[in-house]
Structures are given as C-alpha cells and as structure tokens.
Amino acid sequence: MIKLLRVDERLVHGQVALAWTNSLNADCIFVVNDAVRNDKLRLTTLKMAVPAGVKFVSKNVEDAIDALNSGKTDKYKMLVVVDSVVDALRIAEGSSVVESVNLGNMKNLEGRRQLTPSVYASDEEIAAIKELLARGVEVGCQAVPTEANVPVETLI
C-alpha cells in the first residue's frame, strides 16, 4: 500500500529517511527512477540513508508500475519516491493505486517558477500536475510532515 508518493529531486535523504518514514510508519522506501536503477554507486549511496528495519527497493518506472499492479507491494506500507512530477504522472497513468502526490522538493532551476519555498515547477511540470489533478489525484506541497499540506491548485 502506498502511504505517500513523494516528488523529491534528492530522492532519499534525512527528511525522507527519518521524518517521513517515521510519520507514515512506513516499512519500505520504494525509489522509482529510470536512471538511478542502473547506477550502482548511487543506489548504494541511497541505501545507506535508509533507516535500519526499513526495506529499500528501487525499480525503473515501467517495472515499478508492474510491481504496483501485481499486488506484490500490497504487504508493505510504502513511501514511494520519484524525482520528477512526470514520473509521478507516469505511475498514476499506469496504475490505479495513486491517490495523492506530495511535492516535497523541486529545485529552483532556470525555467521554473516558485510555488513554495521548496517547490519550483516548469510549464511542462505544471502541465503534468494539472493532468494528475484531472485524473482525480490529490496533489499537495509539503516539505516536512509537521508543515501543513498546501493543495497545489491554490498555487498554480
């Protein structure tokens, strides 16, 4: 079961590994990313940030969709982490298990506009957000669990 699908360009780090995992009582961090899945060094680094007792799984987007649809992941309380809104949309399009998306950290890069202090989005990303909303997926901005979740439609 997906407890939270989070967009965070850093993937696994202190906020994800500790604050979010603890607040959700998650027992699995599921990193979904096409590039990271084939980068052994980065995978090893991400695994080192995962708290003891929490399972770490990484798959590319296509394989993650297959796993979510198969029911194999139902036994876990998962924190699913992607590094882009486009990947979150791909998962939502390929699977019926995505009910909400948390925009946690999207860097201030050229071509992006600020939505919150930690979330910046390009026109393409805003289009993906709007598509998620059109599919009935709730999308909110929340950097850490102690902050209020701000519905993204109030920001775009």
Token pair listed for 73: 């992941």
Cβ pair 142, 104 in contact under 8 A: yes
Other Cβ atoms within 10 Å of 107 Cβ, number: 10
Q: Distance from CA of residue 38 to its chain's centroid?
A: 19
Q: Give me the active site residues, please.
A: 13
How do strand 78-82 and strand 100-105 relate by DSSP bridges?
A: unpaired
What b/e readout covers 45-81, taking b as 16+ CB neighbours within 10 angstroms? Answer: ebeebbeeebebebbbbeebbebbeeeebeebebbbb
